[in-house]
Amino acid sequence: MIVITGAAGFVGSCLASRLNREGFVDLVLVDDFSVENKKQNWTGLQYAEKIDRNVFFDWAVGKGNQIQFVFHIGARTDTTEFDLNILNALNLAYSKNMWDLCVSEGIPLVYASSAATYGLGENGFSDDYAHIRDLKPLNPYGQSKQDFDVWALEQPAAPFFWAGLKFFNVYGPNEYHKGRMASVVYHAFNQIKANGSLNLFRSHNPDYKDGEQQRDFIYVEDVLDVLVFLMHKRNNSGIYNLGSGTANTFRHLAESVFKSLDMEANIQFIDTPVDIRDKYQYYTCADMRKLRSIGYDKPFTALDEGVNRYVRDYLKALKNY
């Protein structure tokens, strides 16, 4: 059996679908399945068991010889969440329990960390261990991911194979439920369809022109390729960046969405809200050398191509992955 936490969410449900396509149907889906607007993400999947996240560890007792791999993708991913009890329970304590389970039962583990750990990027975007403890996340969500990464590196006992993946800005199908936390591509598509125009945040940094703020955007299918690669490889444990390795501007992304809709770009700029202005990232870009060094050699999807596929194959048709 392959366990996927967060299986009703964005990346987790896409991963389950990808594994189904590759012939893996003995899946254990773990999440809070009571959330109605996530239902379309998992109802068409093939799986062996569907377990509520609150009872998973009770269910897992004595099943170590049946579980072949754990993808711990589930987390509280809202960057505006300030309830530390929620973040500590779902992002830190739950992940520690999963780690301990995989250690005691000899199960390989891949878990989702986040590029939110890098904060403003003042210490760069290298996944070299020498830099990890110096990172300064901008919000409690990023700090919860940072805290677990540091904790994992300090453990005297570890799963025989484990990998923590610092996801950068992932976009793609199955994020329809995410609301404000959905990708810029998703919000741009909906705003353009509704208004024929798109608002982007004005730059409040003299080093960047309006719309020239940059992010490392990665298409979800590239994320899935890396997850499956690690499932088969099962060596070279550690923490890895998972982005495209390329920084693209918001203007470029916006123009790509307009192009995918066969429309002329119509972009306006609005002030970045004051409450997030001093914590706004103007540049992110994953250093991908470590993942490349262990043999992952597949090229990452260019932004224009990824946006076009997402808009054409999924958003226009309201399809899931």
| Enzyme catalytic residues | 141, 178
Residue 118 near residue 79 (C-beta atoms within 8 A): no
Packing angle between helix 10-21 and helix 220-233, nearest 10 degrees? Answer: 60
Instruction: Give DSSP secondary structure letters for 178-194.
Output: -GGGS-HHHHHHHHHHH
Instruction: Give DSSP secondary structure letters for 209-234.
Output: -TT--EE-EEEHHHHHHHHHHHHHH-
Q: How far apart are alpha carbons 230 and 19 in whole angstroms?
A: 13
Q: How far apart are alpha carbons 6 and 247 in whole angstroms?
A: 27
Q: How far apart are alpha carbons 252 and 259 in whole angstroms?
A: 10
Residue 170 near residue 223 (C-beta atoms within 8 A): yes
Torsion angles phi and psi, residue 152, rounded to 5: -60, -45
DSSP H or E stretch at residue 239: strand 238-242
| Cβ atoms within 10 Å, residue 33 | 18
